[in-house]
């Protein structure tokens, strides 16, 4: 080929472009083998893939990360790109195939369960795992033969798992949770904030429920006389800044629509209450009475035996939903001193009755957060019946992030991507979190990991 200086400008640009596009999209494929069986590679093949090299053996309990890169050379047809690798679970008759595919809609990774079934995924079905360019895509398989759990859990994952976890106390079960759950929209805001600084979710409570979240951080505020969720901070010099999110009335409707066909346990934790109409003070007793009265519109509020003194975390999952009905717990954690009064016998509880250790890392550094949360988990959760532990897998936006345009959701995506790679190797059968707590609950990945924990503890 002639040197570039002898080519026309247009041809030279085409030449340079052709060389550049040969390097295709790449990302990490995390394989989480939380079964008691070794995975042995049976076969592997690929067509027009720059990188598709999988280990011959993935030990039981191991997490392996594989780099996947597509070949996007200009003369290659995207639809012809693809790859497969088959793994057999040693000592069983089970096997599955991991696939790379390139339909017209874009690249994707998937799992064909050609000789295995998991909760919600029958034998022969295909699980679409998606594709995250320069990020992480995960496949989770956990549990033992006949009781496998995997990526793509069913919407009613708790009800579907009752046979294995129904007899366990809540403090011996893992579930996924949503941080600042109502902040997927802005329905009102102060002067000096924008969406980057207040949105923590991209989907409504209804969406988060569908993806499997069961613990919701609800921060009630009064805004223009209406109860909403909110995200506010008291900033030096400028004072209180923030925004309102979903209305409480909408959240009630979405929960009721979900529980009409899904007999799941749902926990709402009410905290960080503010009256933005009255100097940003805490809600008064009257305000709380009005809020709780509105929340009585939630169907399936669960009234426990001895409701004013019961330790909810010592009750089993089956006691809540074993009768085939949903159960909703409303936990109150007011900023001031309030009394539940008659609401204490209507499905409303104090925080001490669902006492979760909750200490966020207050950092935008991923490595610092991961180390901090795992160390706290190991300190608090020394046995399966230790105090309930909330793993706050969240990054906190700092001043530097605001200046350089890094949003809360940008940080959330960074943290969520690391959940699949950094968390699975950190828990044991005796030391594990009860709540996997994240921002941007926009997939069922955290739910699959919670089910993996439950299958191995």
Q: Which residue has the tokens 């409504």?
A: 204
The 10s digit of each residue's pLDDT in 423-436 is 999 999 999 999 99
Please say whether the structural domain 26-150 has been given the CATH code 2.60.270.
Answer: yes
Query: What are 112's strand-pairing partners?
Result: 97, 126
The third-level CATH classification (topology) of the domain covering 159-455 is TIM Barrel (3.20.20)
Q: Is the pLDDT of residue 127 over 70?
A: yes
The predicted structure's pLDDT at residue 431: 97
Tokens of 315: 């009750």
**How far is residue 111's CA from residue 320's CA, in Å, rounded to a whole number?**
34
**pLDDT for res 103:** 85
Give me the pLDDT at residue 14, please: 45
Q: What count of other Cβ atoms lies within 10 Å of the Cβ of residue 65?
A: 13
**pLDDT at position 24:** 81
Residues in the chain: 457
Question: pLDDT tens digits, residue range 288-305?
Answer: 999 999 999 999 999 999
- Helix (H), strand (E) at residue 112: strand 108-115
pLDDT at res. 48: 87
pLDDT of residue 19: 44
Among 22-31, 180-189, 253-262, 414-423, the range scoring the smallest mean pLDDT is 22-31
Chain-centre distance of CA 451, in angstroms? 12
- What is the pLDDT confidence band of residue 143, given thresholds at 50, 70 and 90? very high
Per-residue pLDDT tens over the stretch 334-369: 999 999 999 999 999 999 999 999 999 999 999 999
pLDDT digits 0-9 by tens, 202-251: 999 999 999 999 999 999 999 999 999 999 999 988 999 999 999 999 99
pLDDT band, residue 23 (cuts 50/70/90):
low
Distance, CA of 64 to CA of 58 (rounded, Å) = 7
Nearest CA among 42, 58, 154 for reference residue 96 = 42
Q: Looking at residue 8, what is its pLDDT?
A: 55
pTM (predicted TM-score): 0.93
Is it the case that residue 176 has pLDDT exceeding 70? yes
Structure tokens at 131: 């594709």
294 in helix, strand or coil? Answer: helix
How is the chain split into domains, by residue range? 26-150, 159-455
**What three-state secondary structure class fits 259?**
helix
Distance CA 98, CA 84 (A): 6
The model's pLDDT over 59-115, given as tens digits with 9 standing for 90+, comes to: 999 999 999 999 876 545 555 679 999 999 999 999 999 999 998 778 999 999 999
Q: Under a CB-based contact definition with an 8 Å cutoff, are residues 99 and 83 in contact?
A: yes
User: Among the residues of 314-365, which ranges form H helices?
Assistant: 317-321
Asked if the model's pLDDT at residue 17 lies above 60, the reply is: no
Say what the pLDDT of residue 80 is.
Answer: 67
pLDDT at position 56 over 50:
yes
């Amino acid at each position: 080929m002639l040197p570039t200086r002898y080519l026309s400008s247009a041809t030279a640009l085409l030449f340079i472009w052709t060389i550049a596009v040969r390097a295709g999209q790449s990302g990490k494929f995390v394989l989480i083998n939380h079964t008691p069986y070794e995975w042995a590679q049976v076969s592997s093949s690929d067509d027009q893939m720059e990188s598709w090299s999988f280990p011959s053996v993935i030990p039981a309990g191991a997490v392996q990360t594989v780099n996947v890169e597509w070949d996007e050379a200009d003369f290659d047809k995207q639809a012809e790109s693809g790859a497969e690798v088959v793994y057999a679970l040693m000592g069983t008759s089970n096997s599955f195939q991991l696939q790379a595919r390139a339909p017209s809609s874009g690249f994707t990774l998937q799992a064909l369960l050609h000789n295995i079934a998991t909760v919600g995924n029958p034998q022969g079905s295909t699980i679409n795992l998606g594709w995250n360019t320069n990020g992480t895509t995960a496949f989770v398989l956990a549990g033992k033969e006949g009781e496998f759990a995997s990526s793509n859990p069913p919407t009613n994952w708790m009800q579907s798992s009752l046979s294995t976890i129904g007899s366990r106390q809540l403090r011996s079960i893992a579930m996924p949770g949503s941080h600042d759950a109502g902040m997927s929209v802005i329905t009102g805001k102060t002067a000096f904030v924008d969406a980057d600084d207040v949105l923590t979710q991209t989907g409504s409570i209804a969406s988060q429920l569908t993806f499997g979240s069961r613990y919701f951080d609800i921060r009630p505020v009064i805004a223009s006389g209406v109860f909403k969720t909110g995200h506010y901070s008291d900033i030096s010099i400028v004072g209180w800044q923030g925004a309102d999110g979903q209305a409480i009335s909408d959240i009630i409707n979405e929960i009721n629509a979900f529980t009409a066909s899904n007999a799941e346990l749902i926990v709402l934790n009410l905290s960080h209450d503010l009256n933005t109409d009255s100097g940003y003070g805490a809600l008064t007793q009257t305000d709380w009475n009005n809020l709780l009265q509105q929340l009585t519109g939630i169907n399936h509020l669960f009234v426990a035996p001895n409701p004013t003194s019961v330790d909810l975390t010592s009750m089993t999952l089956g006691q809540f939903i074993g009768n085939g009905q949903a159960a909703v717990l409303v936990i109150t954690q007011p900023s001031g001193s309030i009394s539940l009064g008659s609401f204490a016998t209507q499905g409303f509880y104090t925080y001490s009755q669902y006492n979760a250790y909750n200490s966020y890392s207050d950092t935008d550094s991923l490595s610092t957060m991961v180390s901090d949360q795992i160390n706290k988990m190991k300190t608090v959760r020394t046995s399966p019946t230790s105090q309930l532990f909330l793993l706050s897998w969240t990054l906190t936006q700092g001043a530097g992030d605001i200046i350089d345009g890094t949003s809360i959701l940008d940080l959330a995506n960074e943290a969520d991507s690391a959940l699949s790679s950094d968390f699975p190797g950190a828990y044991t059968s005796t030391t594990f979190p009860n709540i996997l707590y994240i921002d941007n609950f926009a997939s069922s990945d955290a739910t699959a990991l919670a089910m993996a924990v439950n299958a191995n503890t």
